[in-house]
Chains A and B, each alone.
Chain A
């Protein structure tokens, strides 16, 4: 339990990352159920990434996310396991970070997104990495995502910087574009592959 958690949480122990053995959702290692949380500065495209992944569409005028919103999507991996992602898309404005622990607590995966045209958002991403290293589940899978890769002519954060930082922190790194759908599915497939496969006993 993180000290920064804004609300005491009774369920955190029970919902330990990879599904809840008590509920009927994840009985075996072949059908994983995963709580995933998206974090990152406002406007980097978190909601767009989720909508692209879940609904396969890009709405250039998405709505501002207030608090958080939930969507889920199941994918099949090549080794015939299925992964059901339960995705919490959080609000990006700084002050909403106070509510973030509510959502990242007990998450098996955290996807931290920045906008490759905004160094400030890259900074914010590093803040989130630190926060999750401190307060997230110990075995959390972290992914660093540089979004809006289609805007390469406005790029301000070099690919190398993202890669270096991710490597240093043992994270998975990828650059995506919700607009062109580039690497969106790959992002989630890669996460699926990296999930620990020990079946919950």
Chain B
């Protein structure tokens, strides 16, 4: 395989990656770091795929087993021929062919070195042919299912013979005059055209994916036929008398149409469900594809994904190349070839600017690329050649033989990217609007920031989409994205990858301060996305909602706006081109009056220059006819007539232009309205944002309020506690007051009893006095009485006297202290107690 050589080379030349693509100097270091990871990942995925395919093989064995004996026979037959062809040529394409089956040793750079080991080479070829022939019968089996083919068997046989005999044919072909020329012209073309089916182990995969091809074709059948009819008719008109060419054309297109119809019929029985049913391993395959396709399988797996085999029409590619040669020779300079020449010139400009310096794109590589692009342009004139296809074709040519690359390119451009690379590029413009909407939905903050900086998302995403990330992100990542994209068969992966890039780098972008910085940063960050697995997984897992159905819906929504603009533009251009037509005529008249005659003649032939004046200009400036017609120098009279005619036309144009400008004005008004609507929606967005902010603020306030409430409640509680405390204190006070009254009462009682006692004392005193008086009366009376009696009497009154004295002394004592004084002392005592209590209650 070419790539294996490249990786070897890259060891010598540091500035290229393992695919042979140039690395930017600032990325060399990072690439080196990742190269190790890539290698590990590659080993891992090779193993996984090997196991997967082995399981496939087991379940598919029955398909090919019966063909085995025949194969071996054929392979043996083939060997000799192959060797002889090989010996003669040893060119790029034959090298390419052997590379195709994954043999490490074979590519044309190596061939010179390998010359001393022919045996080895033969061995490889043998193997490859074996595989080849084993692949073919499968096709027969498939074909034989078609009921409408009556002479199926004989045809098949022919096909097989035709195919197997190809190497020989190349040598024999020189007998046919037409092919002869072709061979001389494109020295290597005969070989390059050869078609190769993919290896046996991938055929189940191919079968599954092919059924999808039929499915899409079924849906688009009418369109395709219609567009082909259209192309035919325009071609017809352009060619005028070139009946021969038209016939050939029709023939080719017919085969194509037939094929399309055929597959359509086959497909009527098919549907998505049966697909799942027949291929239960589809889930596993999805997983494997996300992890990446192994390098040495990639070329074939991609073909299987795109359903190249189902798309292929036998000999179609050869016919396209032959057509090209014929056009070259047929020296006519009608409009049809003018268009073709325009493509051709653009292709020539772009060939050296396609992966410049890539080791595989040397002179032969570029021849191959040129043929491929020209063939495609002829195959689909509604696209022709569009810049970007040069990169795609270049990439495919690194992975597969030329014709296979052609059919893969057809699948990608006609199917996956239908309407993308046409003259108006409608679908690519639609996709940009869709992407912008998705961005707004997914990353509103980022888009707002970009809006603020004045950066439009499409400035950056446009080139991403148009180039399918080629040259935009590192190659390993490009190829991993392509793995998924080609597998899925639509442009979903394009969107998901772009969204993933925005997700990964969005945060960094938010820090930028001006438009230039933002764009530069995003470009350089995207350019250093070496972590291809992260990118693919982010894309595939992170944006599941972005699916084909949603994209279709959004496309429908945005398409009318684009169509309107395209319409405006094309009208405007037509006006311009007409006036330019005159300007350039005058310009060339100034420099080369002779050319006017030709122009005039052309003009009389029909208003053809209206269609493509720029190519007319080419004819003027580059036409060799000018010399031959120069001797018919026009006289002044003719010139005046011509000028008059032109003047009239110009006036007519002016009138048209005025009408146009009116139309444009109304369109502008519409657009302004549209713009207003957009502004409004932006404003609504802003208002919504504000509302959200306010709501946020509100909830903040509420929170604060709640907090305040809590504080308030706590304060209240405390208050309640103090209240309670006061109440208890009051109760205490009451209790004390109660105690005081009790004490008072006790005191009163005590006072009462005291006064009673006093009364009693007074009574006792008076009694005592009375007694004393009585006793003294008695004593006077009893004084003569015996002493004996006296002594005893004396004794007794002494005892009673002492008692009396005590009684009197106590009375005296009590009388000495006034009563109220003692009462006061008690009350003051009580007052003191009371104040103490009061003090306590205050605390």
Binding site for B on A (CB under 8 A): 1, 3-11, 14-15, 20, 22-25, 33, 35, 42-43, 59, 61-72, 84, 86, 88, 91-96, 98-99, 102-103, 106, 119-120, 123, 126-127, 130-131
A-B interface, 7 closest residue pairs, ranked by CB to CB distance from nearest: A67-B463, A61-B356, A15-B454, A25-B514, A86-B516, A66-B467, A43-B349
Given contacts A66-B388, A95-B425, contact A24 B514 (CB under 8 A): yes
Say yes or no for B760: interface residue by CB 8 A criterion.
no
Please provide the chain B residues from 346 to 371 with a CB less than 8 Å away from any CB of chain A in the complex.
346, 349-350, 352-354, 356-357
Q: Closest residue of chain B to A11, judged by CB?
A: B454
Given contacts A7-B429, A7-B456, A95-B425, contact A66 B568 (CB under 8 A): no
Q: Closest residue of chain B to A131, judged by CB?
A: B576
Q: Is the CB of B425 within 8 A of A99?
A: yes
Q: Is the CB of B391 within 8 A of A64?
A: yes
- Of B388, B422, B514, chain A has the most CB atoms within 10 Å of the CB of B514
Distance of B659 from chain A, by nearest CB (Å): 15
Distance of A115 from chain B, by nearest CB (Å): 11
Q: Which residues of B contact A119 (CB under 8 A)?
A: 587, 617, 621
In Å, the complex CA distance between A125 and B451 comes to 31
Q: Is the CB of B454 within 8 A of A42?
A: no
In Å, the complex CA distance between A109 and B122 comes to 63
Given contacts A10-B679, A66-B388, contact A102 B458 (CB under 8 A): yes
Which of B233-241, B278-286, B667-675 participates in binding chain A?
B667-675
Q: Closest residue of chain A to B463, judged by CB?
A: A67
Say yes or no for B561: interface residue by CB 8 A criterion.
yes
In Å, the complex CA distance between A23 and B450 comes to 11
B321-360 Cβ-contact flags toward A at 8 Å (1 or 0): 0000000000000000000000000100110111011000
In Å, the complex CA distance between A95 and B421 comes to 8
Binding site for A on B (CB under 8 A): 346, 349-350, 352-354, 356-357, 386-388, 390-391, 421-425, 428-429, 432-433, 436, 451-456, 458-460, 462-463, 466-467, 470-471, 513-516, 519-520, 523, 561-562, 565-566, 568-569, 572, 576, 580, 583-584, 587, 614, 617-618, 621, 664, 667-668, 671-672, 674-675, 678-679, 682
Distance of B682 from chain A, by nearest CB (Å): 7
Q: Is the CB of B576 within 8 A of A130?
A: yes
Q: Closest residue of chain A to B670, judged by CB?
A: A3
Q: Is the CB of A126 within 8 A of B580?
A: yes
Given contacts A10-B451, A67-B467, A91-B387, contact A25 B429 (CB under 8 A): no
Q: Is the CB of A7 within 8 A of B523?
A: no
* Inter-chain pairs besides A9-B456, A66-B391, A127-B580, 8 sampled, C-beta below 8 Å: A3-B568, A10-B682, A11-B451, A15-B515, A33-B516, A95-B421, A98-B425, A102-B459
Q: Which residues of B contact A42 (CB under 8 A)?
A: 346, 349-350, 387
Q: Is the CB of B516 within 8 A of A4?
A: no
Q: Which residues of A contact B433 (CB under 8 A)?
A: 7
Q: Closest residue of chain B to A123, judged by CB?
A: B584
Distance of B353 from chain A, by nearest CB (Å): 5
Q: Is the CB of B621 within 8 A of A63?
A: no
Distance of A17 from chain B, by nearest CB (Å): 11
A-B contact pairs, 21 of them (CB 8 A): A1-B668, A3-B568, A7-B458, A8-B675, A8-B678, A10-B682, A20-B515, A25-B515, A33-B516, A63-B356, A64-B354, A66-B466, A67-B463, A70-B459, A70-B460, A86-B516, A94-B423, A95-B421, A96-B425, A98-B569, A123-B617
Q: Is the CB of B621 within 8 A of A20?
A: no
Q: Is the CB of B675 within 8 A of A1?
A: yes
Given contacts A98-B566, A99-B429, contact A68 B515 (CB under 8 A): no
Q: Is the CB of A3 within 8 A of B513?
A: no
Q: Which residues of B contact A66 (CB under 8 A)?
A: 387-388, 391, 463, 466-467, 470-471
In Å, the complex CA distance between A136 and B664 comes to 16
In Å, the complex CA distance between A61 and B679 comes to 45
Q: Closest residue of chain B to A4, judged by CB?
A: B569
Distance of A125 from chain B, by nearest CB (Å): 11
Q: Which residues of A contact B349 (CB under 8 A)?
A: 42-43
Given contacts A4-B569, A33-B516, A96-B425, contact A68 B561 (CB under 8 A): no
Q: Is the CB of A11 within 8 A of B353?
A: no
Distance of B653 from chain A, by nearest CB (Å): 14
Q: Is the CB of A3 within 8 A of B467?
A: no
In Å, the complex CA distance between A103 and B513 comes to 20
In Å, the complex CA distance between A103 and B515 comes to 13
Q: Is the CB of A5 within 8 A of B471?
A: no
Q: Closest residue of chain A to B562, judged by CB?
A: A6
Q: Closest residue of chain A to B356, judged by CB?
A: A61
Given contacts A3-B671, A64-B354, A106-B454, contact A126 B583 (CB under 8 A): yes
Q: Is the CB of A33 within 8 A of B514?
A: yes
Q: Which residues of B contact A43 (CB under 8 A)?
A: 349-350
Distance of A159 from chain B, by nearest CB (Å): 14
- Of A35, A94, A130, chain B has the most CB atoms within 10 Å of the CB of A94
Q: Which residues of B contact A71 (CB under 8 A)?
A: 520
Q: Is the CB of B456 within 8 A of A68?
A: no
In Å, the complex CA distance between A119 and B675 comes to 39
Given contacts A7-B458, A102-B459, contact A62 B679 (CB under 8 A): no
Q: Is the CB of A63 within 8 A of B515?
A: no
Q: Which residues of B contact A99 (CB under 8 A)?
A: 425, 428-429, 462
Given contacts A23-B454, A66-B388, contact A4 B424 (CB under 8 A): no
